[in-house]
């Protein structure tokens, strides 16, 4: 550093030191230095402390603040075990907390050896399962089920992130991002400096769009840290911009993106915090609507079923990645309650009385046809007419898309919980709901048959699985549509991660057929209910593929909407089919190293372990094919 900056740096140093001295006087102090360190040890590791040290901790104001923070954090539901630990210090001398026998009774060193031993045993069992001569159904089912989490690990952004390995492709993406950043800066200047308020407002909205694309661009090439810096600046701009501020629906969009970037970096606690802030922002938006204060940017406000559900699904994904299925289930229940509330409201506004806690699909079936099967091209005049005659409710393709997504997500959760029969019910419900492609942000055209295929593998119906997976593959390209105003609706192609998942499932299904297919017979013509068919009202009779609206159980075999695949005839060991299965599994494993390395360390480790199991499977097949 050239010397001529020395006076400036010296001035800065003096100013900073003066402030720090002042801060020293204002912040709490511990009477005993190591108290705080002891507290970290206690909170993080549940190490028992001698009573005198506990006394020091309790006497230290700084430790008191830390304990309060731990408790606040835990009261938000993060970790009940640590809550007990924190309470232990604050209320009584240290004693073994209720964090579990394992942590409470073993020293860290013994614990690590025990974990290593358990992992070795687990690996041995996995190897044993995956290496019998005939592939066990249970192994195929387990891999199919776990692939769900593996690919979500790799692809938190729902199929959007794919760091390009090709340098040319990456350079092009970076150039595009730079162009967007320049455009964003120009627009921002206009938004801040134009003398015309209308121009300022328009430029502010365009700035937001450009900024979003910058963040997405960085995210898509795996530059999560840089995207987070951009997103943080974006939050400040949004909050400070007079024509947007915290009242516009842009605000929660920004909060969502920041949360997801934290999630992609593996900081789930921060992600959760931002998601919670987003939920609050969305609710504030609804409260403004109740006071007839319109969204300053988009004008019309959406029902909670449309505006809240997406953020609940983000929370749901976080919980799944953490393996916390109980929490994931609560978020799914939250979406169900919102959707039920919407449809019960529609029914009541249409003069059809229904209990507030009626089953969701019963409420859907009792609602007017337009709300069950909305068109995607209603005009504003038609919407106004609906609102006038249905207590303010308007049919919404977006809400129907959410309803369909709900059943698919619910099925994923049930599969992870091992409840195959209920997962089949959930997928049947999804199949019975009309697709609304223009409103489908979840790419259910791909995701639904993929899940049905997964379920079929788990049930041992391999030929049916192949048919469903072929249906998913037919939809893995980009989606291009046009909305009622002639505006294009474009969605990118399904990501490599999810394509890899599909390849893996196809490979598993081929292996299953090869060994012992138990495909269900095709449905007789006319008996299957195709996409777009409505659930029947209660008591109207059922056929396979219908949703049981009375709440009864359907047979656990899978209804097939596209036949059973025909070619899935039983076959003796077929070298060609095994070779195809092997090629598919190998292709699924060809995930770019850069994609894996872009993951946070903890997620990377989990994913690598899962990929290793797929490799074991491929090697087993290869050995037995020779």
Partner 1 sequence: MELPETSDEELYARWWAAAATPVERQASADEIDRRHRRRLSGFCYRILRSADSAEDAVNHAFLKLFEKQREFTRTLRAWLWATADNRCKFLLSARQQHKADPLPPELDDPRATDPHSDCVTNDEERALDACLSKLPAEHRRYVELRAFDGFTAEEAAEALGLSLSPAGHNVRYQSILSKLRECLEKTGIRG
Phi, psi of 544, rounded to the nearest 5 degrees: -60, 130
Pick 108 or 392: Cβ nearer partner 1: 108
Binding residue for partner 1 (CB under 8 A) from 19, 298, 570, 623? 19
Binding residue for partner 1 (CB under 8 A) from 76, 118, 199, 233? 233
**Part in contact with partner 1 (CB under 8 A); list of ranges 163-171, 268-276, 376-384, 388-396:** 268-276
Q: Is 90 in the site for partner 1 (CB under 8 A)?
A: no
Pick 43 or 301: Cβ nearer partner 1: 43
How many whole angstroms separate alpha carbon 568 and alpha carbon 522? 11
Pick 37 or 118: Cβ nearer partner 1: 37
Q: Is 23 in the site for partner 1 (CB under 8 A)?
A: yes
How many whole angstroms separate alpha carbon 142 and alpha carbon 125? 13
Q: Contact at 8 Å (CB) between 125 and 616?
A: no
β-strand partners of 482? 488
Helix, strand, coil percentages (3-state) for the chain, rounded to 5, are 65, 0, 30
Q: Is 288 in the site for partner 1 (CB under 8 A)?
A: no
Q: Is 556 in the site for partner 1 (CB under 8 A)?
A: no
Q: Is 490 in the site for partner 1 (CB under 8 A)?
A: no
Pick 24 or 490: Cβ nearer partner 1: 24
Q: Is 527 in the site for partner 1 (CB under 8 A)?
A: no
Q: Contact at 8 Å (CB) between 580 and 495?
A: no
State the pairing for strand pair 479-482/488-491.
antiparallel
Residues 422-481 that bind partner 1 (CB under 8 A): none
DSSP result, 337-353: HHHHHHHHHHHHHTT--
C-alpha R_g of the chain:
28
Site pattern 31..50 for partner 1 (x: CB under 8 A): --xx-xxx-xx-xx--x-x-
Binding residue for partner 1 (CB under 8 A) from 55, 146, 176, 226? 226
Phi, psi of 569, rounded to the nearest 5 degrees: -65, 150
Binding residue for partner 1 (CB under 8 A) from 51, 76, 77, 112? 112
Q: Contact at 8 Å (CB) between 556 and 573?
A: no
Binding residue for partner 1 (CB under 8 A) from 5, 102, 127, 128? 5
Binding residue for partner 1 (CB under 8 A) from 3, 20, 351, 380? 20
Residues 319-348 that bind partner 1 (CB under 8 A): none
Q: Is 119 in the site for partner 1 (CB under 8 A)?
A: no
Distances (CA, A) of 626 to 134, 537, 612, 622: 14, 55, 21, 7
3-state secondary structure 450-479: HHHHHHHHHHCCHHHHHHHHHHHHCCCCCE
Q: What's the closest the beta carbon of residue 399 comes to partner 1, in angstroms?
A: 28
Q: Is 179 in the site for partner 1 (CB under 8 A)?
A: no
Q: What's the closest the beta carbon of residue 223 comes to partner 1, in angstroms?
A: 8
How many whole angstroms separate alpha carbon 195 and alpha carbon 199? 8
Pick 40 or 128: Cβ nearer partner 1: 40
Binding residue for partner 1 (CB under 8 A) from 81, 123, 235, 571? 235
Q: Is 215 in the site for partner 1 (CB under 8 A)?
A: no
**Which residues does 611 contact at the CB level (< 8 Å), separation at least 6?**
150, 589, 591
3 state SS of 547 = coil
Distances (CA, A) of 535 to 124, 341, 421, 527, 547: 47, 19, 18, 14, 6
Q: Is 65 in the site for partner 1 (CB under 8 A)?
A: yes
Q: What's the closest the beta carbon of residue 205 comes to partner 1, in angstroms?
A: 21
**Part in contact with partner 1 (CB under 8 A); list of ranges 262-270, 389-397, 530-538, 552-560:** 262-270
Binding residue for partner 1 (CB under 8 A) from 9, 114, 117, 387? 9
Binding residue for partner 1 (CB under 8 A) from 60, 140, 241, 277? 277
Pick 232 or 573: Cβ nearer partner 1: 232
Q: Is 229 in the site for partner 1 (CB under 8 A)?
A: yes
Binding residue for partner 1 (CB under 8 A) from 55, 58, 62, 476? 62
How many whole angstroms separate alpha carbon 225 and alpha carbon 219? 9
Q: Contact at 8 Å (CB) between 31 and 56?
A: yes
How many whole angstroms separate alpha carbon 413 and alpha carbon 621? 30
Binding residue for partner 1 (CB under 8 A) from 77, 108, 392, 521? 108
Pick 110 or 125: Cβ nearer partner 1: 110
Residues in contact with partner 1, counted by CB under 8 A, come to a total of 59
**Part in contact with partner 1 (CB under 8 A); list of ranges 187-195, 272-280, 416-424, 487-495:** 272-280
3 state SS of 93 = coil
**Which residues does 462 contact at the CB level (< 8 Å), separation at least 6?**
456, 509, 510, 512, 513, 517, 518, 519, 568
**Part in contact with partner 1 (CB under 8 A); list of ranges 18-26, 300-308, 310-318, 581-589:** 18-26
Q: What's the closest the beta carbon of residue 240 comes to partner 1, in angstroms?
A: 10
**Which residues does 274 contact at the CB level (< 8 Å), separation at least 6?**
255, 256, 258, 259, 262
Helix runs in 350-443, H state only:
360-366, 369-372, 380-389, 397-417, 420-432
**Which residues does 626 contact at the CB level (< 8 Å), separation at least 6?**
none
Binding residue for partner 1 (CB under 8 A) from 182, 232, 287, 625? 232
Nearest CA to 55 out of 41, 72, 39, 73 is that of 39
Pick 240 or 540: Cβ nearer partner 1: 240
Q: Is 2 in the site for partner 1 (CB under 8 A)?
A: yes
How many whole angstroms separate alpha carbon 476 and alpha carbon 596? 22
Pick 166 or 240: Cβ nearer partner 1: 240
Pick 75 or 225: Cβ nearer partner 1: 225
**Part in contact with partner 1 (CB under 8 A); list of ranges 143-151, 274-282, 307-315, 618-626:** 274-282
Report the interface residues with partner 1, using CB under 8 A. 1-2, 5, 7-9, 11-13, 15-16, 18-20, 22-24, 26-28, 33-34, 36-38, 40-41, 43-44, 47, 49, 62, 65-66, 69-70, 108-109, 112, 223, 225-226, 228-229, 232-233, 235-236, 239, 246, 262, 267, 269-270, 273-274, 277, 280, 601
């Amino acid at each position: 550093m050239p010397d001529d900056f020395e006076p400036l740096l010296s001035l800065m140093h003096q100013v900073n030191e003066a402030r720090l001295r002042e801060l020293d006087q204002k912040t709490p102090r511990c009477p005993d230095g190591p108290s705080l360190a002891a507290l970290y040890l206690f909170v993080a590791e549940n190490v028992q402390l001698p009573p005198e040290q506990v006394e020091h901790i309790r006497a230290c104001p700084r430790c008191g603040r830390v304990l309060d923070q731990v408790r606040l954090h835990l009261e938000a539901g993060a970790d009940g075990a640590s809550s007990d630990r924190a309470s232990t210090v604050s209320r009584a001398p240290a004693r073994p907390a209720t964090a579990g026998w394992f942590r409470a009774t073993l020293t860290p060193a013994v614990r690590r050896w025990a974990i290593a031993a358990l992992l070795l045993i687990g690996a041995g069992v996995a190897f044993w399962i995956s290496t019998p001569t005939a592939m066990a159904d249970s192994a195929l089912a387990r891999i199919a089920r776990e692939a769900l989490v593996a690919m979500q690990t790799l692809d938190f952004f729902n199929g959007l992130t794919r760091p390009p390995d090709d340098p040319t492709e990456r350079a092009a993406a970076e150039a595009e991002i730079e162009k967007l950043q320049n455009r964003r800066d120009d627009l921002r200047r206009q938004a801040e400096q134009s003398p015309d308020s209308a121009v300022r407002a328009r430029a502010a909205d365009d700035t937001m769009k450009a900024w979003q694309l910058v963040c997405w661009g960085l995210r898509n090439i795996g530059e999560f840290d840089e995207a987070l810096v951009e997103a943080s600046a974006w939050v400040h701009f949004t909050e400070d911009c007079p024509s947007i501020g915290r009242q516009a629906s842009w605000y929660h969009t920004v909060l969502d993106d920041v949360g997801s970037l934290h999630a992609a970096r593996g900081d789930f606690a921060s992600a959760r915090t931002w998601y919670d802030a987003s939920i609050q922002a969305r609710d504030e938006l609804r409260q403004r609507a109740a006071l007839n204060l319109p969204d300053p940017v988009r004008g019309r406000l959406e029902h909670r079923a449309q505006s809240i559900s997406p953020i609940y699904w983000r929370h749901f994904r976080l919980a799944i990645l953490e393996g916390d299925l109980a929490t994931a289930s609560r978020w799914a229940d939250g979406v169900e309650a919102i959707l039920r509330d919407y449809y019960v409201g529609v029914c009541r506004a249409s003069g059809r009385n229904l209990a507030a806690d009626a089953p969701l699909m019963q409420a859907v079936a009792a609602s007017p046809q337009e709300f069950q099967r909305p068109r995607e091209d209603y005009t504003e005049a038609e919407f106004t007419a609906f609102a006038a005659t249905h207590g303010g409710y308007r049919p919404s393709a977006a809400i129907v898309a959410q309803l369909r997504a709900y059943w698919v997500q619910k099925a994923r959760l049930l599969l992870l919980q091992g409840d195959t029969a209920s997962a089949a019910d959930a997928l049947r419900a999804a199949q019975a709901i009309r697709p609304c492609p223009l409103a489908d942000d979840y790419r259910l055209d791909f995701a639904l048959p993929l899940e049905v295929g997964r379920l079929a593998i788990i049930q041992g119906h391999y030929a049916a699985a192949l048919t469903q997976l072929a249906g998913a593959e037919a939809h893995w390209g980009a989606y291009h549509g046009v909305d009622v105003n002639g505006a294009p609706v474009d969605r990118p192609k399904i990501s490599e991660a999810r394509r890899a998942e599909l390849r893996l499932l196809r490979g598993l299904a081929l292996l299953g057929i090869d060994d012992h297919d138990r495909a269900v017979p095709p449905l007789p013509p006319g008996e299957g209910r195709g996409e777009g068919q409505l659930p029947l009202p209660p008591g109207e009779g059922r056929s396979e593929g219908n949703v049981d609206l009375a709440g009864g159980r359907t047979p656990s075999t899978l209804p097939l909407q596209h036949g059973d695949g025909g070619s899935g005839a039983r076959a003796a060991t077929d070298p060609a089919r095994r070779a195809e299965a092997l090629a598919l599994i190998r292709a699924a494993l060809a995930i770019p190293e850069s994609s894996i390395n872009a993951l946070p360390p903890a997620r990377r480790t989990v994913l690598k372990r899962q990929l290793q199991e797929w490799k074991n499977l491929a090697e087993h097949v290869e050995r037995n094919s020779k």
